[in-house]
Structure 1
């Protein structure tokens, strides 16, 4: 319905409900549970220039109201995506958005460039929480300069909608948001996972092989909403909010904080039909409060 349509740069969404990268595979894995065409978009799993095996096991751990993961961007590389995965996705009647990751600025730019000519991929999402191997492993997204550099490089080779996924592991997320906006980002998505750790008290060692990992799930929601609200008051480009959404009420919170659209992540593992339920809940909320258009709710706290 028209009252649910959202524009993110040149990207038109039929509604604001999307699924987050790393939690929804390539989308087709969930087709037995929901009608994928009802979604505003699907952010497919992280894609890198070259194939990656990911981290050693164990690389996932359950935590109270959430989970830790250190999968390590396991994927077969962008060329495999183009030749094998894209043909399966191109006829799904929703926006398919590729999450692009890398270890160097050159990796990001080259990976993005190879996706440019795919007609049915209208946007990419840059995961700047990756470690910059040329700068000693500090994540691109934790430095204003490196965040700006990688966005500038990708913008120079990619002319479709460019969404930048922000790391919460920073002192001031608004400074990063303003930097990527200045270099041509069409939108930002936030938050990525928080850095966390879990210890096996019997073995007296970390649960994850990598020691630390990314914390996601309902436990991170208050942090995510705070960061969305801060960012909404600092930039002019649209925000796609995520972080612990497990109900339509959570989605409304994110929209009121400043999100033009939302992504559902970890809760897809709990309830693979959650995205449809969230969409129905948003519609009912709008009817109850006689909201003319979804955009009328954005930032309205």
Structure 2
């Protein structure tokens, strides 16, 4: 018998909707409209009710996101290099809380150049997620575009490398986003996870975001560091390098607040891969 493993964020969403008075039938219709199967809807709605019943006892409700298995490279043997897909990747820096790993030589120079060339014709002003749709914001002044998952041979190869390195299913990843930051462009500090109190629809496409990989395609002459202001960490772009960080729940306590400092001179190009806790649809 096949058992579907549904993302914990889906149960969180169902529970929150039930607390606001939404009916089971309305929630089922919403799930079906978003592409979930009848079986998945029944499992999510039925198990959510069971969880809610347990929460009515003397114990507080458990934060389900904490139990999610996270993407992560295998660094148990303290390796200085990891070879994936023939690419010899150097481990430069690690941090436990927040979980951050910095890699050198994640991409070759040729891969960086080809990815930028493929993305350039499709660049548009970057947006941020609003309550109903994506909107322009002074907090994010880059240009960007998304590749569909496995859209090209190059994109597919990079996605498989990410999946292997981070021990995470390829289908649990969003499409790669390429961003260009010219002089003065920045992205103010933000979290990559979706606040379930305000963003319901994104959670239905694969559950919560649980990790981010930023790949540097082109380094500016000045500025453009990836900053983690809560821990006073700045990671300066180096062509071909990458920074990985994960967040076990959608909460500021993960210390995953980060941003892109303004580019002072030159251009910064990055490619970002967000990983979900379930299959991204």
TM more than 0.5: no
Q: Which has the higher helix share?
A: 1
Q: TM-score range by the shorter chain?
A: under 0.3
TM-score of the pair, normalised by structure 2? 0.26
Question: Which structure has the larger Rg over C-alpha atoms?
Answer: 2
Q: Which has the higher strand share?
A: 2
- For CA contacts below 8 A with separation 6 or more, give which structure has more relative contact order: 2
